[in-house]
Amino acid sequence: MQKLLNIINYARAKDLYPDLHIIESPPDPEVIIEGKKVLMFTSNNYLGLATHPLIMQSAVDAIQKWGVGSDGSRLLSGNLQIHCDFERAIAAFKGGEDAIVWPSGYSANVGAISAIAQVLRVLPSDFFSLGTVIISDELNHASIIDGARLSKQRKVVYRHCDMSDLASLLRRFRFRRKVVVTDSIFSMDGDIAPLDKIAELCKKYNAMLMIDEAHATGILGKTGHGSLEHFNLKPTADVDIVLGTCSKALAATGGFVVGSKELTDYLRVASRSYMFSTAMMPAASAALITALKVIETEPWRREKLWANAEYLRAGFYDAGFNTLTSKTQIIPVLIGEDDKAISFSRKLYERGIFAPAVRWPAVAKKFARLRITLMATHTKEQLDYLLKSCKEIAGELGIKK
């Protein structure tokens, strides 16, 4: 225990421990934090669906019908009809044959990657075959990294969105079973993986392809169906495993995989985080079914989100800030040093803006930043106030833009 205390004391002494604020209201553009009204610029509620009346009512109705909890794991007493209904809905939304749902996006990634990479050994030949090689983008989410670790298979990393480096690794492991894993939209830089090129390379070198649609579902594509729609790709035919979370644009909780019926049947008996977790709350499944319908019937939300992102990114650019390679609703504002990023975030909070600093180990050293995320429900006036405040604070801290 003393070793743990030493670590915590060190983090606090070096100002490394995060500022943990208590939010006292729903995730709207304006929230109450510890009695103070502030603008929210770090929410994943991209389309503003968390407080949509129809979605909220669906959750209430589900509680009235199903109760609060799911009672057990999906393989025992927790396999509710409402969960199956959502699986059919998300499979149809993504254009896949079938879907399987976990109680969280993290458990979906950990459970899917470890099960797919470390294949169950049931035939004599399985015990003599070489293991799987997991080929992962260097900026993939922590849940992908942890899933690869838990698989106990070999993991290699390719440079971020570098197709030459990926091709080199695929050639190197030409005769091994391979799984390429990448985020669609990267959570810290806000850029988009070149999935069309990745899919082409995977076909050429006979590798499975798994993508994480956490920040792309509801956002990318002509109708918001995600990165496959954006790149005109198909589940199974072009991308073997389409994974996503339900806690971003879909505004609830859970994680899913869409793919072939054979894939989902396998994961139901091979993914430990699926087999040994209580199923998601029925209210979440009900809310998610309605959220998918709202995305289809209210396209203005996605359109407004993209307009907000383009406006704010252009504003930061005109003011001399570095937003790295962002092309989406996630806009990093590079500050550099950890201490300056922390000071910047705290000064924003003093001005009524909640935009926490992200620093090492979440990002590389010298790349500390504000991670700005936008909602469709942000107003132009709110965006302008953020830009104005950032310009003033940069001057106060002597930050070269």
Positions annotated as catalytic residues are 187, 215, 248
Task: Compute the distance between CA of residue 147 and CA of residue 229 in angstroms, rounded to an integer.
Answer: 26
Task: Compute the distance between CA of residue 223 and CA of residue 226 in angstroms, rounded to an integer.
Answer: 8
| Helix, strand, coil percentages, rounded to 5, for the chain | 45, 20, 40
Task: Identify the helix (H) or strand (E) that includes residue 37.
Answer: strand 36-40
Residue type, 262: E
- The residues, ordered by sequence, that sit 6+ positions from 4 with a Cβ below 8 Å of its Cβ are none
Question: Where does residue 16 rank: exposed (0-12), middle (13-18), buried (19+ CB within 10 A)?
Answer: middle
Secondary structure of residue 34 in the 3-state scheme: coil
Distances (CA, A) of 400 to 67, 221, 237, 308, 358: 55, 36, 48, 25, 19
CA dihedral 358, 323, 105, 270 (to 10 degrees): -100
Q: SS3 string of 140-209?
A: CCHHHHHHHHHHCCEEEEECCCCHHHHHHHHHHCCCCEEEEEEECECCCCCCECCHHHHHHHHHHCCCEE
Q: Using the structure block, give the residue that is written with the tokens 């300056």.
A: 340
